[in-house]
């Protein structure tokens, strides 16, 4: 593999890992921006990533991981460590991120290195007993099932949300490969619930620009919801609303559900017809 290919597969793995739990946190985003050095290599990696069609991303990553089987043990260990560092960028590591690390490591013939490095940050799966973490995942799924069962959309064409990973669900938008992620997040310095639409790749950038052009109307339609429209350094654009609340408190669950249902219906009402119109024009 060339130096560019090694850095490219590392960046693509890190990008997938940090998004595995449904939300890219600010700490994770900062890590991605700082993942590749020197700057000239970072620019080359970002150019290469942006040239990969979204529909081909997984296939290209699989191809690069297969090619990485020919690397030496030391390089593979370095790559596994960088994957774990990406997962821990927000000072926590989720099961979804661990699963990604194990999958990618196996694809490049580095299972031994991955299990050795993961043993330092998480218990071996076969050694785990039912714990508060497992109980919390069950509770999170029950919370989201309540949301799915009771959420209603004024737009009759909007499909019901479905479960994603731990503590998030998704509902599809009319442009292929786009959806609203609806999440709860409890991490260092952050207690929030929210929704976001991510628009990735060159093909969707004009869609985001048209949404920007209608920002004033969107804010009016969304009322008191705190709308944010942000473009990240990797080119991804995110349209989001968030609400600060003590996610862990059982006493706040009804408040969370009320806000999430209202916000989901409002975001769908504001975004779905626009996306359908933009995609067809």
pLDDT at 264: 97
Per-residue model confidence as pLDDT tens for the chain (281 residues): 888 888 889 888 988 888 876 666 666 666 676 766 676 787 888 888 888 888 888 889 999 999 998 898 888 888 998 888 888 776 677 778 888 898 899 889 888 888 778 877 764 444 444 555 567 788 888 999 999 999 999 999 999 999 887 788 999 999 988 899 998 876 544 578 999 998 887 888 899 999 999 999 999 999 999 999 988 766 678 899 999 888 888 889 999 999 999 999 999 999 999 999 988 76
What span, in angstroms and rounded, lies between the C-alpha atoms of 72 and 116?
16
pLDDT at 55: 81
Beta-carbon contacts of residue 155 (< 8 Å; ≥ 6 apart): 268, 269, 272, 273
What span, in angstroms and rounded, lies between the C-alpha atoms of 260 and 194?
7
Q: Which domains does the chain have, with CATH numbers?
A: 3-127 (1.10.3680.10), 132-280 (3.30.1460)
Looking from the CA of 60 toward its CB, the CA atoms found within 13 Å total: 19
Query: What is the 3-class SS of the chain, one letter each residue?
Result: CCHHHHHHHHHHHHHHHHCCCCCCCHHHHHHHHHCCCCHHHHHHHHHHHHCCCHHHHHHHHHHHHHHHHHCCHHHHHHHHHHHHHHHCCCCCCCHHHHHHHHHHHHHCCCHHHHHHHHCCCCCCHHHCCCCHHHHHHHHHHHHHHHHHHHCCCCCCCCCCCEECCCCEEEEECCCCCCEEEEEEEEECCEEEEEEEEEECCHHHHHHHHHHHHCHHHHHHHHCCCCEEEEECCCCCEEEEEEEECCCCCHHHHHHHHHHHHHHHHHHHHHHHHHHHHHHHC
Cβ–Cβ under 8 Å, residues 170 and 159 = no
């Amino acid at each position: 593999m060339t130096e560019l290919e090694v850095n490219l597969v590392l960046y693509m793995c890190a990008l997938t890992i940090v998004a595995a739990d449904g939300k890219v946190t600010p700490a994770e985003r900062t890590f991605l921006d700082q993942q590749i050095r020197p700057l000239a290599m970072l620019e080359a990696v970002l150019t290469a990533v942006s040239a990969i069609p979204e529909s081909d991303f997984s296939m290209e990553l699989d191809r690069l991981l297969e090619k990485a089987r020919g690397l030496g043990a030391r390089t593979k260990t370095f790559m596994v460590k960088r994957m774990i560092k990406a997962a821990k960028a927000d000072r926590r590591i989720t099961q979804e991120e661990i699963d990604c690390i194990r999958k990618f490591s196996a694809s490049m013939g580095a299972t031994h290195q991955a299990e050795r490095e993961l043993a330092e940050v998480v218990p071996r799966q076969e050694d785990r007993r039912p714990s508060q973490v497992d109980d919390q995942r069950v509770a999170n799924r029950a919370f989201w099932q309540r949301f799915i069962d009771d959420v209603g959309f004024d737009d009759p064409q909007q499909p019901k949300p479905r479960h994603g990973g731990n503590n998030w669900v998704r509902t599809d938008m009319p442009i292929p490969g786009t959806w609203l992620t609806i999440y709860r997040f409890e991490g260092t310095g952050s207690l929030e619930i929210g929704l976001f639409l991510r628009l990735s790749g060159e093909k969707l950038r004009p869609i985001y620009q048209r949404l920007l052009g209608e920002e004033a109307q969107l804010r009016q339609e969304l009322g008191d919801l705190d709308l944010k429209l942000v473009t990240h350094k990797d080119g991804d654009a995110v349209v989001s609303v968030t609400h600060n609340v003590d996610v862990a408190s059982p006493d706040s669950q009804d408040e969370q559900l009320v806000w999430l249902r209202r916000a989901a219906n409002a975001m769908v009402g504001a975004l779905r017809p626009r996306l359908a119109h933009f995609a067809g024009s």
